Structure 1
Amino acid sequence: MPKSRNDRKKKAVYTPPPSAAKPKVSPRWLAPLMIACGVFGVLWIAVYYIAGASIPYMRDWAEWNLAIGFAGIIACIILSTRWH
């Protein structure tokens, strides 16, 4: 006689092994530095476009001002990948 489905052995529920590793914690300086780099980059580009012709060093650096601003924004993005 065939066995019914209820008579079959039930599988045990999977329980993952206990993790001994502590959760990663970001350093306290990471978030303020990340925000500062992003704000610096955006403000640098904004000031360059608004008043760059009247500020002597910005006028001399010409298009390098965009590189400086984007470097701050890229630094912000790189730092955000380290945040836990």
Structure 2
Amino acid sequence: MPKSKVRKKTVYTPPSSDRTTTPVKLAGPTHPVYIAVMLGMMLIGLAWLVVNYLAGNSIPFMATLGPWNFLIGFSLIVIGLLMTMRWR
């Protein structure tokens, strides 16, 4: 059986570092007011839904809103949850 030819491998040379690197600006921690608003939105939304379930018919403006109370409560919760994506 014939022997295969041995190929010489070229020596690895790392690419030259001609690129200029720009430093990335690191964002600091989130302001405490942002965190308070974020948690406040979620808690207000939860409280809105709880009050709607427990005493929605006896509160005049909540009784006139009817099923819109669910949209208001869940919207406040979702806004608070969306704010968590920007929290550092």
**TM-score, normalised to structure 1's length?**
0.73
Q: CA deviation at 1:22?
A: 3.8
Please list every run of at least 4 consecutive aligned residues from structure 1 whose deviation after the TM superposition is greater than 4 angstroms: none
CA distance in 1, matches of 2:31, 2:68: 32
CA distance in 2, matches of 1:43, 1:81: 22
Q: What is residue 70 of structure 1 aligned with on the other side?
A: 74
Asked which structure has the greater CA Rg, the reply is: 2
CA RMSD of aligned residues (A): 2.1
Q: CA deviation at 1:27?
A: 2.9
Q: Which amino acid aligns with 2:26?
A: P
**TM-score, normalised to structure 2's length?**
0.70
Number of residue pairs aligned between Structure 1 and Structure 2: 73
Q: Which residues of structure 2 form unaligned runs of 5+? A: 1-20
Q: CA deviation at 1:19?
A: 8.0
How high is the sequence identity, in percent, across the aligned residues?
30
CA distance in 2, matches of 1:83, 1:23: 14
Q: Which residues of structure 1 form unaligned runs of 5+? A: 1-17
Instruction: Tell me, yes or no, if structure 1 residue 24 matches structure 2 residue 27.
Output: yes
Instruction: Tell me, yes or no, if structure 1 residue 38 matches structure 2 residue 42.
Output: yes
Q: Deviations over 1:2-42 (max 9, x none)?
A: xxxxxxxxxxxxxxxx9833431223321000000000000
